[in-house]
Amino acid sequence: MTENAGSGAAESGRTPAPLSGRIAGSPSALWHEEVLGPHFRYEVTHLLPWYIVIEKVLAAEYARLDLISDADARALGRALHTADAEALVADPASNMSDITFALERYVEQRLPRPVPSWHVDRSRNDLQATAQLMFGRHELAGAGAALLDFGKAVHRLAGDTRELPMPGHTHFQAAQIITPGYYLSAVSEQILHTLRRLLSTYDGLNASPLGSGAMAGQELGWDRDRMARLLGFQRPQPVALTAVASRGWVAEVTAEMGILSVALSRFVTDLLTWGSSEFGFIDLPDELCGISSAMPQKKNFPVLERIRGRTAHLATYHLDAVLGQRNTPYTNLVEVGKEAGANLSTAYATLRSVLRLFREVIGRLSFRADRMRAACEREYLGGFSLANALTLDEGVPWRRAQVVAGAYIVAAMEAGLPPDKPDAELLRRVARERGFTLADPATVLSAVRDVDAGLRRLASAGSAHPDSTAAVLRGQEDEYERLGAEWADRADLITGGLAETDGLLGIRP
């Protein structure tokens, strides 16, 4: 046994009791080194706080069942409260390199007297499922908070840039006049959509497995509703088998990460395009930029490439979770419960990294209004408006108006005429060649001349008109506040339950 093998047996001189009568030997060195030891370290790092909380709730429940005294429950609570990562060590001989056995040994050696009924009618299956779910739930709430912060930063930048004209692209071609604020309002809308989906996912998984036993339920009258409340869950998982067999929530959480990663990668791709030397629409401060060792004229944006590259990992973690569960029996399995979720903590860490980096980019990003306006002015982005004007002002049928507008733009480009120097006679001639006589071609051509007028000509709700964007942003602001309150309510449910449990065990903050 190692010096502080997590049991305290060396301190008391007591020899740990066997953990099983079925297997006489301890785990082999290879089994410990390759599997049990690494997994023990993983659980100590990520799950130990939740195991301790669960054990506290179980101690309070044993007292409610009159299986242990209130004094014993308080002693268990005090011993559990002192456990930490330094106190627990994987030891094949004393705890089979299992965190639940290590915690059991640790507590037993710190009790003033034995508590025979402690751990009666218990299984590690629902204990592990509950600890994993509490970790996943905690991390999901953290992801929600990070996404909220990122979304609010995007929302602020959208408000600051909703009146700066820039070309919008479809099919990789300049198409219509928009603004950065309009584009960013779409990014913000995607974030809000994901926040709502994550909240729904959170509520869907927020059912406690505790009290389900190995797979078929337990023999004592456990108050699963009370235990669920003390652990901050909204409810117990109704079916014991589902509680220990399913890790569907891991696939659901990583699916949402994967879906979000697709959208984020597309947004970053646009920033990379806008930051290229051909466009030059955006800039970042030097401390977020890179250089070329061979080409001194270059200022690169590797942070954007890093963000986009890391979004790819998020989709692969979902695939990992799915393949780890696929074609397995629907019951409690190490393969599903441990291997299939082995990359969950890494997935959460990757998402946090992506959001932190992207949040910094959004906070430091600047748009070059002069370059964006110049791009709008050199492109014939008013073609759609010209066709509309030909129909509404001159009575040209819509499809024929599209033909006239397109023919005029081709002729103007061949003649070297920029959009801000329209030629009324050229339009008159083009229209006449196609059987239409225009009364006032100069007025009609105003649709392709003025960049700002072209932007403000948009009238439908949700359009790129700065006033329309402002209205959308006001609605989004209210939604951010609502969702922030919803996430806070979930956190309060957990905090309240944990405080009540410590109160029942006489543990003071």
CATH of the domain at 431: 1.10.40
**Residue 289: its pLDDT value, please?**
72
Range of the domain at 406: 382-456
Whether the per-residue pLDDT at 363 is higher than 90: the answer is yes
> Where is the domain boundary, 74, 97, 120?
120
**Residue 298: its pLDDT value, please?**
63
Cα separation, 130 vs 84, in Å, equals 19
> Where is the domain boundary, 70, 85, 120?
120
Q: What is the pLDDT averaged over residues 121-129?
A: 94
Residues 6+ apart with CB under 8 A from 386: 405, 408, 409, 444, 445, 447, 448
The model's confidence at residue 15, banded by pLDDT at 50, 70 and 90, is: low
Give the SS3 label for residue 175: strand
Q: What does DSSP assign to residue 474?
A: H
Which of 73-77, 292-296, 460-464 is the least confident region? Answer: 292-296
- Based on the fold, state whether residues 116 and 139 are members of the same structural domain: no
Q: What is the pLDDT averaged over residues 312-338?
A: 94
Is there a contact between 198 and 144 (Cβ–Cβ < 8 Å)? yes
- Based on the fold, state whether residues 112 and 209 are members of the same structural domain: no
- Based on the fold, state whether residues 275 and 134 are members of the same structural domain: yes
- Based on the fold, state whether residues 333 and 447 are members of the same structural domain: no
| Residue among 150, 137, 141 at smallest CA distance from 190 | 150
**Residue 4: its pLDDT value, please?**
38
Domain count across the chain:
3
**Residue 453: its pLDDT value, please?**
87
Q: What does DSSP assign to residue 166?
A: E
Q: Which tokens sit at 324?
A: 């780890």
Cα separation, 316 vs 153, in Å, equals 27
**Residue 18: its pLDDT value, please?**
66
Whether the per-residue pLDDT at 415 is higher than 90: the answer is yes
- Based on the fold, state whether residues 209 and 311 are members of the same structural domain: yes
Q: What is the pLDDT averaged over residues 223-248?
A: 95
- Based on the fold, state whether residues 388 and 351 are members of the same structural domain: no
- Based on the fold, state whether residues 483 and 351 are members of the same structural domain: yes
Whether the per-residue pLDDT at 32 is higher than 70: the answer is yes
**Residue 6: its pLDDT value, please?**
38
Is there a contact between 121 and 58 (Cβ–Cβ < 8 Å)? no
Residues 6+ apart with CB under 8 A from 81: 52, 56, 502, 507
Burial class (CB in 10 A: 0-12, 13-18, 19+), 447: buried
Specify if 115 maps to a domain.
yes
Top pLDDT among 149 and 22 is at 149
Query: How far is CA 493 from each of CA 53, 136, 229, 233, 253, rounded to the nearest angstrom?
Result: 14, 16, 8, 7, 20
- Based on the fold, state whether residues 354 and 478 are members of the same structural domain: yes
Q: Which tokens sit at 84?
A: 């930490």
The model's confidence at residue 9, banded by pLDDT at 50, 70 and 90, is: very low
Specify if 375 maps to a domain.
no
Q: Which tokens sit at 489?
A: 């309510």
Whether the per-residue pLDDT at 8 is higher than 70: the answer is no
**Residue 508: its pLDDT value, please?**
80
Domain of 179, CATH number, reads 1.20.200.10
Percentage of residues in the chain with pLDDT exceeding 70? 93
Specify if 462 maps to a domain.
no
DSSP string, 341-410: TTTHHHHHHHHHHHHHHHHHHHHH-EE-HHHHHHHHHHS-TTHHHHHHHHHHHH---HHHHHHHHHHHHH
First-last CA distance in the chain? 34
pLDDT (tens digit per residue) in 464-504? 999 999 999 999 999 999 999 999 999 998 999 999 999 99
Cα separation, 177 vs 165, in Å, equals 6
pLDDT (tens digit per residue) in 171-210? 989 889 999 999 999 999 999 999 999 999 999 999 999 9
Cα separation, 223 vs 209, in Å, equals 12
Is there a contact between 102 and 91 (Cβ–Cβ < 8 Å)? yes
**Residue 16: its pLDDT value, please?**
60
> Where is the domain boundary, 93, 120, 147?
120
Q: What is the pLDDT averaged over residues 448-455?
A: 85
The model's confidence at residue 225, banded by pLDDT at 50, 70 and 90, is: very high
- Based on the fold, state whether residues 162 and 200 are members of the same structural domain: yes
Specify if 463 maps to a domain.
no
Q: What is the pLDDT averaged over residues 212-221?
A: 93
Burial class (CB in 10 A: 0-12, 13-18, 19+), 497: buried
Query: How far is CA 104 from each of CA 21, 79, 396, rounded to the nearest angstrom?
Result: 17, 10, 85
Identify the sign of the CA torsion 445, 450, 453, 455. Answer: positive
Specify if 2 maps to a domain.
no
Specify if 287 maps to a domain.
yes
Within 212-333, strands assigned E span 235-236, 282-283, 290-291, 299-300
Cα separation, 428 vs 412, in Å, equals 12
Burial class (CB in 10 A: 0-12, 13-18, 19+), 297: exposed
Whether the per-residue pLDDT at 412 is higher than 90: the answer is yes
Q: What is the pLDDT averaged over residues 71-82?
A: 94
**Residue 446: its pLDDT value, please?**
81
Mean pLDDT for the chain? 91
Q: What is the pLDDT averaged over residues 6-12?
A: 40
Specify if 374 maps to a domain.
no
Specify if 58 maps to a domain.
yes
- Based on the fold, state whether residues 430 and 494 are members of the same structural domain: no
Angle formed by the axes of helices 248-274 and 302-325, nearest 10°: 160
- Based on the fold, state whether residues 198 and 251 are members of the same structural domain: yes
**Residue 288: its pLDDT value, please?**
82
- Based on the fold, state whether residues 164 and 234 are members of the same structural domain: yes
Q: Is 46 left (phi over 0), alpha (psi -120 to 50) or beta?
A: alpha
Q: What is the pLDDT averaged over residues 217-245?
A: 95
Which of 90-104, 280-294, 443-457 is the least confident region? Answer: 280-294
Give the SS3 label for residue 23: coil
